[in-house]
Amino acid sequence: MSNTAPILSISHLSKTYASGFSALKDVSLDIQKGEIFALLGPNGAGKTTLISIICGIVNGTGGHVLVGGHDNVKDYRAARAQIGLVPQELTTDAFETVWATTSFSRGLFGKTANPALIEKILKDLSLWDKKDSKIRTLSGGMKRRVMIAKALSHEPQILFLDEPSAGVDVQLREHMWQTVRALRDTGVTIILTTHYIEEAEEMADRVGVINHGQLVLVEEKRVLMQKLGKKQLTLQLREPVSALPESLAPFNLQIGAGGKDLTYTYDTKGEHSGITTLLDALREQGIMFKDLNTTQSSLEDIFVGLVGSAQ
């Protein structure tokens, strides 16, 4: 990671809502230019609150934020000009055309009209052939892309995507990720929130885990996945077992209730899952199974793991 000043610097940020609810607790985080950073956490963790404070929509109750070196309160306009925000809730004017709404957004930031740029943005987002369509006639995935186009219209340095995959089908999601990566390649810093660990895994260079308003972990994705990317394979046995032969000891299998199933835990990022070897070893021992399935450790499990290890 470079030693240059971070493009976004969050220091000791906290937020207590008027209700008295403490939604953010002393969050500090630096983001470098050109990163894709995923803020991962369950619903209610404080992700949208954090983004809303950075963007100046909600006031923090403690701490401060620098966007490209500009304080987001004292120097709001300069800070906000660096940011493109795609909010969690789609809010577009249904009766506007794609072209009009995107061009208008640029104007809101006091930037002079730049039709060539708007054209490029719409083309990059595969929206060009819809430029004259009214937004209400578009599919959910297209509407989401219009929101991205609007957010990019004033050439921000940082793009926030709050739960970008919500309501977007798998195929479009893949397309959207390609678009996001291409944007990053042009130097835009991307910060996305998600409650899907798979999404963070797919996209991010670095992941921050937030829970109950606290940033409990910030880690390079690669390292995080090594720590947390465990998968379990469960085999439903034909005949129950009460004990396992010595030759199976290296697999650390867990025998389920009544000896009817065996569970094997492996590292999804390891070079070898060991599954083939395990199945061979079981066959040699004459242990037959009638079904098998895999489960990935959920975010919930991960939080339990994190909270557990911190105590």
Ligand X SMILES: Nc1ncnc2c1ncn2[C@@H]1O[C@H](COP(=O)(O)OP(=O)(O)O)[C@@H](O)[C@H]1O
Helix (H, G, I), strand (E, B) or coil at 287: coil
Which of 12, 17, 178, 236 is in the footprint of ligand X by CB under 6 A?
Answer: 17
Nearer to ligand X, 41 or 68 (CB): 41
Which H helix or E strand runs over 272?
Answer: none
Which of 21, 113, 182, 291 is in the footprint of ligand X by CB under 6 A?
Answer: 21
Please check whether residue 84 is in contact with residue 115, taking contact to mean a CB–CB distance below 8 angstroms.
no
Q: Which x/- pattern, by CB under 6 A, does the window 185-214 give for ligand X?
A: ------------------------------
Contacts of 72 (CB under 8 A, 6+ apart): 53, 54, 55, 56, 64, 65, 66, 79, 80
Tokens for 181?
């990566």
Nearer to ligand X, 43 or 242 (CB): 43
Binding residues for ligand X, how many (CB under 6 A)? 12
Phi, psi dihedral angles at 249 (to 5 degrees): -55, -40
CA distance 52 to 300: 25
Amino acid at site 20? G
Q: Which stretch binds Mg ion (CB under 5 A): 48-56, 144-152, 181-189, 270-278?
A: 48-56
Dihedral (Cα; 70, 72, 78, 83), 10-degree rounding: 110
> E strands, 32-101, where?
36-40, 62-67, 70-71, 83-86
Which of 2, 19, 186, 311 is in the footprint of ligand X by CB under 6 A?
Answer: 19
Under the criterion CB under 6 A, does residue 164 sit at the interface with ligand X?
no
CA distance 155 to 149: 10
Looking at residues 138 to 167 of the shown chain, list those that interact with Mg ion (rule: CB under 5 A).
Answer: none
Q: Which stretch binds Mg ion (CB under 5 A): 9-17, 43-51, 212-220, 226-234?
A: 43-51
Looking at residues 27 to 86 of the shown chain, list those that interact with ligand X (rule: CB under 6 A).
Answer: 41, 43-49
Nearer to ligand X, 59 or 295 (CB): 59
Under the criterion CB under 5 A, does residue 48 sit at the interface with Mg ion?
yes
- Residue found under tokens 């797919």: 202
Under the criterion CB under 6 A, does residue 23 sit at the interface with ligand X?
yes
| Positions in the binding site for Mg ion (CB under 5 A) | 47-48, 88
Residues binding ligand X (CB under 6 A)? 17, 19, 21, 23, 41, 43-49
